[in-house]
Amino acid sequence: PYVPTLHFNYRYFELIDADGKVHWWYGGGTDMTPYYLNENDCKHFHLTLKKACDKHDHSYYPKFKKWCDDYFNITFRHNERRGIGGIFFDDLNQPNQEECFSFVKDCANTVIPSYIPVVQSNYQRSYTTEERDWQLLRRGRYAEFNLVLDRGTKFGLQTPGSRIESILMSLPPVAKWKYAWDYKADSPEMKLMKVLKEPREWV
């Protein structure tokens, strides 16, 4: 429960018209889903992403951070975000292919330095049954987003002949739902919920 889930996916698309014209773009991002809020972990994660963005364009991090907060939003849960965000972008084809590829490579190379220190500082922490239950409830939210709102999942499920198991591999292997769960307003669980409802600027 004290080790966040990390999601990342960087991709290149290319389409060729009947007349031979090529259309290309990059998309993707990296975001983190903690179950208990550790502000130092969040700051480290976002700062690592910001440094990669700033190497290319200082407008990228704030723009792609907001895009991430807006995209990973479980709207039917009254605008509850899946996690504490990161960066997310699509349709990136400016200023040119070489620069876009360089940016995406730098983003991909942030995955290990942004996440492994978070894992190393938390994976040996002990936890209670109640904390494990909370993690499973949050994993339920992760499943809800992926099945109901994620564009990639929906596209895959609607594609004839697609490999369904491959598409659903992004879902957590274990999740839980509980009717009318309740936590005290000052609990660690509600500290996380406040950030999920009102995304913060971490750097």
- 138-175 pLDDT, tens digit per residue, is 999 999 999 999 999 999 999 999 999 999 998 999 99
Q: What does the domain layout of the chain look like in residue ranges?
A: 5-197
**41-60 per-residue burial string, b: 16 or more CB within 10 A, e: under 16:** bbebbbebbbebbeebeeeb
**What tokens appear for 164 in the block?**
């369904």
Give the type of residue at 28. G
Nearest to 197 by CA among 72, 58, 16: 72
pTM, to two decimals: 0.94
Give residue 140's pLDDT: 97
pLDDT confidence of residue 43:
98
pLDDT at residue 180 tops 90: no
Catalytic residues: 7
Beta carbons of 176 and 137 less than 8 angstroms apart: yes
- Output the CA torsion 100→102→108→114 (10° steps): -110
Evaluate whether 47 touches 203 at the Cβ level (below 8 Å).
Answer: yes
CB 196 within 8 A of CB 83: yes
Task: Decide if 67 contacts 30 (C-beta within 8 A).
Answer: no
Q: What is the DSSP letter of 170?
A: T
Is the CB of residue 92 less than 8 Å from the CB of residue 167? no
pLDDT over 90 at 182, yes or no: no
* Average pLDDT of the chain, as a whole number: 96
User: Regarding the domain with residue range 5-197, which homologous superfamily does it belong to in the CATH classification?
Assistant: Coproporphyrinogen III oxidase, aerobic (3.40.1500.10)
For 79-125, write each residue's pLDDT tens digit.
999 999 999 999 999 999 999 999 999 999 999 999 999 999 999 99
User: pLDDT band for position 202 (50/70/90)?
Assistant: very high
pLDDT at 71: 98
